[in-house]
Chains A and B, each alone.
Chain A
Amino acid sequence: GDSVTQMEGPVTLSEEAFLTINCTYTATGYPSLFWYVQYPGEGLQLLLKATKADDKGSNKGFEATYRKETTSFHLEKGSVQVSDSAVYFCALSPYNTDKLIFGTGTRLQVFP
């Protein structure tokens, strides 16, 4: 079945460091891909999305490119801030469904 695999955390970085969180997926057809963020004590917030191959989603300095050839959707940010500390979830939605399939989440901790 469809699934999402993302790198285990925690990822610990100093402020202004470069961030990469790896995400790969297994799916039939052409899913849509998402990154969600969960700040402490809060619900999930959509960070960015891509709906077809080679699409780049971007928001708040974060970027991810839908790579069908490598079935990946890695999250990147050039310079992280302490306020980026949160848990990041990669997710896919199979074509023509509302269902979201999430990875296990990656905790990011940014220190000043």
Chain B
Amino acid sequence: DAGVTQSPTHLIKTRGQHVTLRCSPISGHKSVSWYQQVLGQGPQFIFQYYEKEERGRGNFPDRFSARQFPNYSSELNVNALLLGDSALYLCASRLVGNNEQFFGPGTRLTVL
């Protein structure tokens, strides 16, 4: 079975632009979470979605938003990019009833 997939792999944007990151969970996984990992730090929780509804949100500004589609894939949107948004963005999926989260390879975002 395919694991969690994310696209694109790498992305370079300039300050003020908007970015959309995409995630496809493992087949059968209905819960998707997003994390931001700044270089040298542990991942920070951004959002969790389950059954197309937001079920949790971390301490991130309103510039960050997300949504989940009927096929359980998800998008993370970031508006008005700042240099500090440069990070590895990780998506994780989970099977309902199991607390193990499986992570994708991430999208490396560089903001210039």
Contacts and interface: CB of A to CB of B under 8 A. Distances in A.
A44 B93 CA distance: 12
Contact of A100 (B41, B43, B106): B43
8 contacts: A43-B90, A44-B90, A44-B92, A98-B31, A101-B45, A102-B44, A104-B42, A105-B41
Given A32-B99, A98-B48, A100-B35, A89 B106 contact: no
Interface of B: 4, 31, 33, 35, 40-45, 48, 50, 55-56, 58, 90, 92, 94, 99-106
Contacts of B102: 46
B contact face: mostly helix, strand, loop, or mixed: strand
B57 to A, nearest CB: 9
Interface of A is mostly: strand
Contact of A99 (B40, B42, B48, B104): B48
B106 A43 contact: yes
A24 B67 CA distance: 34
A46 B103 CA distance: 8
Contacts of A45: 103
A49 B42 CA distance: 17
A27 to B, nearest CB: 14
A10 to B, nearest CB: 12
Interface in A67-104: 89, 91, 93, 97-104
Given A46-B101, A49-B100, A93-B99, A98 B43 contact: no
Given A46-B102, A51-B99, A102 B42 contact: yes
A81 B6 CA distance: 30
Contacts of B31: 98
B101 A98 contact: yes
